Amino acid sequence: MILKRYIPIAIVAIFGTLTLSAWFIDNETIETFANDDATQFFDIIAAFAVFLGALNLLKLQFIKFIKKQKGWQYSAISILSFFAAFIIGFFVRGAYFVDDKVYFTQNAALESLIEENESNLPGKSYQVQENSFKSVNDAKDFIIQKNLVTPVDWGAHVQKDGSLFQWMFKYIFSPLSATMFALLAFFVASASFRAFRARNFEASLLLLAGIIIMIGRVPAGGLISSWMIMYLLILIIGLYIHYLKKNNKITIYSTLAGLFLVSVAGMYTGWPVDKPSIFYLPLIQEWIYLVPNAAGSTAILMGIGLGIVVTSLRYIFGLEKSYLGE
């Protein structure tokens, strides 16, 4: 009971308090612990968590593949992809340099420096720079001794441009990721269609802001004149007046008066596309994006921050025991 319950709670409380207090107490020892030591502890724990997560993923995929459950073909692809990335990352250096050129294998890099020298003499000879050899193996040994082929260091090979791991990341993983996010766009469009139904005032406001931003951020939005928006607003106001008064004469006269005033103002100013700017879609969407959107995003981040603080305090005081399996 003590090992499984109270000791983990004590460890979380002590380290959580030290890490949290580093932001409020001006003490070099505590700050060093929070910024260096604690960060390394967290990285080590995260590495083990990733390892356990990978093992659990493999376990689930193997079970699905062995039992031939629905979609087992995708499980087979996942298993093969996992082991391919694992082997390439940990056992295949995959980057051998000859000057500025990169080769996936050492043998390919060695052969790039060897030239066959055909002459009238019996048998072939192999040329490396100004040296001639009777066999390919002798030529390769000479190249290795002279360090003419430079392998990338272990660890750095996963980030080195031209390496096998980077090739896999750039030409397999990145296109597949882009494809997945492109497919997500259809789900986003479907969800937006359901969310933008004008069922109430809030949904109508969301729908209007979404339409303005989508149209205003494309080149076609800049071609829509402010006067067209003003005419559209006059018609919308006329419909609203008709909804309130239920009188056709008032609706027609007020709408015609508004259209007349807008037309007179347009003829007087010369119908500029972006004037008055308050009705120009690119400027409206920019204001929505910079002011209400920024305010809403800040409020959400503040809420997330408060939630993190409350959750941290619950862990420190031992009120949150989900990590114990309770």
Rounded CA gap, 230 and 263, in Å?
A: 10
- For residues 247-261, one letter each, b for 16 or more C-beta atoms within 10 angstroms of the residue's C-beta and e for the rest, the string is eeeebeebbeebeee
- CA 215 – CA 225 distance, rounded (Å): 13
Whole-model pTM: value is 0.53
Q: Which residues contact 286 (CB under 8 A, 6 or more apart)?
A: 216
Residue 238, exposed/middle/buried by CB under 10 A (0-12, 13-18, 19+)? buried
Residue 113 CB coordination number (10 Å):
19
- Tell me what pLDDT residue 63 has: 93
Sequence-distant (≥ 6) Cβ neighbours of residue 46 within 8 angstroms: none
- Alpha-carbon Rg of the chain, whole angstroms? 34
Task: Give the start-to-end residue ranges of the domains of the chain.
Answer: 1-91, 96-151, 194-307
pLDDT beneath 70, residues of the chain: 1-3, 117-124, 195-196, 198, 323-326
Tokens at residue 11, please?
A: 């460890």
Give me 23's structure tokens: 């932001």
CA distances from 66 to 75, 76, 86, 258 (A): 10, 10, 21, 73
- pLDDT at site 323: 67
pLDDT of 133: 78
Q: Summarize pLDDT for 198-247 with one digit per residue, the tens.
A: 677 777 777 788 888 888 888 888 888 888 989 988 998 888 888 888 88
Q: What six digits make up the tokens of 292?
A: 């209400």
The number of C-alpha atoms within 13 Å of 276 and in the hemisphere containing its C-beta is 9
What pLDDT sits at residue 121? 52
Distance CA 160, CA 138 (A): 30
